[in-house]
């Protein structure tokens, strides 16, 4: 993926799946690549149209939640590009869990009933609903693995004040409720997700992507109860199936482990699953778009000229 040099560019950061450009002191250009990561490791193959899927779902969801809290997004000039306000990020991820799935289930299955200082009730099966959604934050690591952290440790460590935490928690739960409502209209259950926030002056902004398959897990609603009763596995629309494939092939991002080979067929399967989630969540047919590097550059420059 090309590294651009935009007018007034003051910085560049290559994340696991996105390239982020600082423009002056006010703006960020975020280019969603087709890279895919799991267990905090970038996998060796790219996934066709993944960047477009993530970027367009995030833009749609940010537009659907502007009444809940302000967000960073100003424009999406290309299918895989977003431009928005540059905020000072909180170095935490606000993970909200409506169902016992993924990391929470692995913790629960080990016999531990506490996650991030929050107690999980007894007697639950994998994928069961929690009585009320739980906030289980994690640190936002610049490198390596994110780590679970409690509300108390966040405040004590100065990652957020008590007042800021209250706002972050209020926003996160309200956003999760909206995400569940949007998902329900499409026959889906939003099982869990994560949000990132930043500050600009005294205002807290929602940042990054929301309710995408990289940051969220979805179940099919019409099959959910039946599968829970019968003990069948829930069909997920999320990146979890990639993690499960890696685990089955003895990779969890630990030292000495090798990423299994990704065949063309498997790469295409992943791409189709991402597109399926787009069409389910947005309710529209996915239209693949292939912007050249020159077209992407021109679209970004034109958008920045309008914004500035």
| CATH number, residue 97 | 3.30.470.20
**Domains held by the chain: number:** 1
d(CA 137, CA 153): 10
When pLDDT is cut at 50, 70 and 90, the band that residue 249 belongs to is very high
pLDDT in tens, 53-64: 999 999 999 999
pLDDT at 103: 92
Indicate whether 174 belongs to any domain.
yes
In three-state secondary structure terms, 266 is helix
Tell me phi and psi for residue 45, to 5 degrees.
-115, 145
Indicate whether 178 belongs to any domain.
yes
- What Rg, from alpha-carbon coordinates, does the chain have? 19
- What are the residues whose beta carbons fall under 8 Å from the beta carbon of 31, sequence distance 6 or more? 1, 4, 18, 19, 20, 21, 51, 80, 81, 296
d(CA 275, CA 79): 14
pLDDT at 239: 84
Separation of first and last alpha carbons in the chain: 26
Indicate whether 113 belongs to any domain.
yes
Q: Which is more confidently placed, 144 or 115? A: 115
Indicate whether 68 belongs to any domain.
no
pLDDT in tens, 168-226: 999 999 999 999 999 999 999 999 999 999 999 999 999 999 999 889 999 999 999 99
- The domain in which residue 225 lies consists of 89-238
Cα dihedral angle (85, 90, 91, 96), rounded to 10 degrees? -100
Indicate whether 138 belongs to any domain.
yes
Indicate whether 297 belongs to any domain.
no
| pLDDT exceeds 60 at position 144 | no
When pLDDT is cut at 50, 70 and 90, the band that residue 140 belongs to is confident
Indicate whether 296 belongs to any domain.
no
d(CA 213, CA 207): 16
Q: How confident is the model over 276-294, as a mean pLDDT?
A: 93
When pLDDT is cut at 50, 70 and 90, the band that residue 240 belongs to is confident
When pLDDT is cut at 50, 70 and 90, the band that residue 145 belongs to is low
Indicate whether 243 belongs to any domain.
no
d(CA 162, CA 170): 12
pLDDT in tens, 86-103: 999 999 999 999 999 989
């Amino acid at each position: 993926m090309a590294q651009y040099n935009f007018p007034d560019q003051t910085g560049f950061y290559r994340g696991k799946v996105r390239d982020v450009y600082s423009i002056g002191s006010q703006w960020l250009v975020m280019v969603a690549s087709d890279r895919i990561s799991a267990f905090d490791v970038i996998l060796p193959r790219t996934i066709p149209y993944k960047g477009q899927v993530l970027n367009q779902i995030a833009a749609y969801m940010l537009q659907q939640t502007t009444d809940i809290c302000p967000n960073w997004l100003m424009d999406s000039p290309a299918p895989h590009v977003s431009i928005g306000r540059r905020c000072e990020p909180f170095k935490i991820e606000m993970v909200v869990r409506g169902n016992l799935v993924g990391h929470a289930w692995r913790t629960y299955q080990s016999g531990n009933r506490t996650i991030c200082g929050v107690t999980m009730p007894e007697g639950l099966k994998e994928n069961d609903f929690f009585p009320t959604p739980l906030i289980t934050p994690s640190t936002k690591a610049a490198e390596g693995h994110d780590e679970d952290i409690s509300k108390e440790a966040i405040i004590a460590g100065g990652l957020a004040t008590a007042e800021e935490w209250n706002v972050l928690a209020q926003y996160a739960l309200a956003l999760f409720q909206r995400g569940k409502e949007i998902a329900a209209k499409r026959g889906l259950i939003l099982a869990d997700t994560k949000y990132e926030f930043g500050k600009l002056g005294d205002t807290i902004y929602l940042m990054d992507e929301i309710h995408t398959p990289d940051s969220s897990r979805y179940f099919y609603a019409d099959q959910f109860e039946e599968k829970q009763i019968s003990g069948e596995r829930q069909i997920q629309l999320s990146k979890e199936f990639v993690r499960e494939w890696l685990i089955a092939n003895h990779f969890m991002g630990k030292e000495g482990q090798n990423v299994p080979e990704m065949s063309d067929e498997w790469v295409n399967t992943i791409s189709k699953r991402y597109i399926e989630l787009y069409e389910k969540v947005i309710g529209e047919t996915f239209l693949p778009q292939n912007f050249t590097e020159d077209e992407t550059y021109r679209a970004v420059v034109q958008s920045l000229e309008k914004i500035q």
